[in-house]
Amino acid sequence: KLLVEIKKAGLGADCVSGGEIQAAINAGFAPSKIAFAGVGKADWEINLALDYDIFCFNVESIPELKVINELAGAKNKTARVALRINPDIDAHTHHKITTGLNENKFGINMEDMDKVAEMLPSLKNINVSGVHFHVGSQITDLTVFQDLCVRLREIQQFFLNKNIPLQHINVGGGLGVNYEHPNHFPMSEFEAYFKIFKQHVQLEPGQTLHFELGRSVVAQCGSLISRVLYVKEGVQKNFAILDAGFTDLVRPAMYGAYHRIENLTSELPEEEYDVVGPICESTDVFAKNYYINKPKRGDIFAIRTAGAYGEIMASKYNLRKLPKGYTSEEID
């Protein structure tokens, strides 16, 4: 249902698996508005994308470029690709969601660009239509995007010098959201973000500029709602034990990520608790030493800003049921 709404808004789909491509098609996205990224595209996924004639593959390595050329040739097709360039830019974000440094697995390194340019004429079933970047996620230091614009100018000039025309430039996403104060800052800094690219990107005639704004669009739109099972008084601290765990929202356990937590059913004074789940792992913790309105069994907690990397990353670990998702219309 969310995909249908996003499609109605006129946005495209940035997919990283064959399953996501199929979901986008099923939701009504035109293949011409679907891009396929990811460092490990399986043959069946590439063939699926070729059969649907999607907008482009965001290619992340020389071996991948060769495989796409081979599979496209077997179908007597030409694959449109954008070369994902690793610009070696520090995103100033959590190290687990930094994607634009040479040490990361993503993209073609700047040092390999000459090699790629030299081999392109031999790839008869490849049409390079653009370049793609993605330096990281949850970026709140907007100067990172200024640095990207500087590197982009260098790369544009490289392709001009090689007489390789680029139809589109995809600068990726990464714009962060405010996890600490979702009520006061429900929107990301879209105006400042787009202003940077308007001021610093010079497109060639006929070129289009693309963005991949995922988290910043949907993160504040979702909350994980959970019920307090037990309030446990420990020797050194107290625990609010919820019926939700990292099987429902893994970001705190995986990244040490912060989410604002609200007790929707208590107006008692705030006290300090570790807010934890029921999973048989010590990492099943939503927040430590967290001040929240004094809870009791049955209270309803809202873990905010869970609209991105929330339900979609849920698992059945401990044979738990997957969480159910509801829209505001269904709740009303």
Residue 221 pLDDT level (bands cut at 50, 70, 90): very high
- DSSP conformational letter for 196: H
pLDDT in tens, 43-89: 999 999 999 999 999 999 999 999 999 999 999 999 999 999 988 77
Pairwise pLDDT comparison (96 vs 314), residue with the higher score: 314
- Which residue, 313, 138, 312, is CA-closest to 216? 138
Share of the chain above pLDDT 70, in %: 95
Assess whether pLDDT exceeds 90 at residue 102. Answer: no
Residue 99 pLDDT level (bands cut at 50, 70, 90): low
Assess whether pLDDT exceeds 50 at residue 100. Answer: no
Assess whether pLDDT exceeds 80 at residue 253. Answer: yes
- Which residue, 303, 123, 45, is CA-closest to 34? 45
Say what the pLDDT of residue 97 is. 47
Distance of CA 184 to the CA centre of its chain: 23
pLDDT in tens, 266-309: 999 999 999 999 999 999 999 999 999 999 999 999 999 999 99
Share of the chain above pLDDT 90, in %: 87
- Which residue, 316, 247, 309, is CA-closest to 277? 247
Residue 332 pLDDT level (bands cut at 50, 70, 90): low
Q: CB-hemisphere CA count at 13 Å for 198?
A: 6
Say what the pLDDT of residue 105 is. 75
Measured in residues, the chain has a length of 332
> What is the C-alpha separation between 171 and 153, in angstroms, rounded?
12
Assess whether pLDDT exceeds 60 at residue 93. Answer: no
SS3 57: strand
Say what the pLDDT of residue 137 is. 85
Mean pLDDT, rounded, of the chain: 93
Say what the pLDDT of residue 2 is. 86
Q: Which domains does the chain have, with CATH numbers?
A: 2-219 (3.20.20.10), 222-320 (2.40.37.10)
Residue range 317-331: mean pLDDT, rounded: 91
Say what the pLDDT of residue 66 is. 97
